[in-house]
Amino acid sequence: MNCAAPSPSQPGREVSAKTTKDAHGWWIEGCIEDVTGWAIGDPSDAATLYQKLEQVVLPCYYQQRDQFVRIMRHAIALNASHFNTQRMVQEYVLKAYFE
């Protein structure tokens, strides 16, 4: 079952079962619509956020709990393995001192 909204994702902020971030830094790379979270569009547009919560996230949470848990697990599994301090420091050292 699919928890995603029928419309394509919009750039902007992303919301996942794990976290919410602006679309810069690591999060824009880490959110996969309906796999690790949901796009909520323009961060200054509260109506877009509430629409996504009411129409997609909350129905998924209350009516498709297994799917919601799957999305939470994917958010942790896919993002924690790549976006972590060890990898960040290693990448920094290699780029700063060896390139």
Q: How far apart are CA 91 and CA 85, in angstroms?
A: 10
What size, in residues, is the chain?
A: 99
Vertex 68 angle, CA 65 and 74, to 5°: 140
pLDDT value at 20 more than 70: no
Q: Answer positive or negative: Cα dihedral of 56, 58, 62, 67.
A: positive
- Domain locations in the chain as residue ranges: 13-98
Q: How far apart are CA 76 and CA 69, in angstroms?
A: 11
pLDDT value at 29 more than 60: yes
Where does the pLDDT of residue 26 fall: very low under 50, low under 70, confident under 90, or very high at 90 and above? low
pTM of the model: 0.60
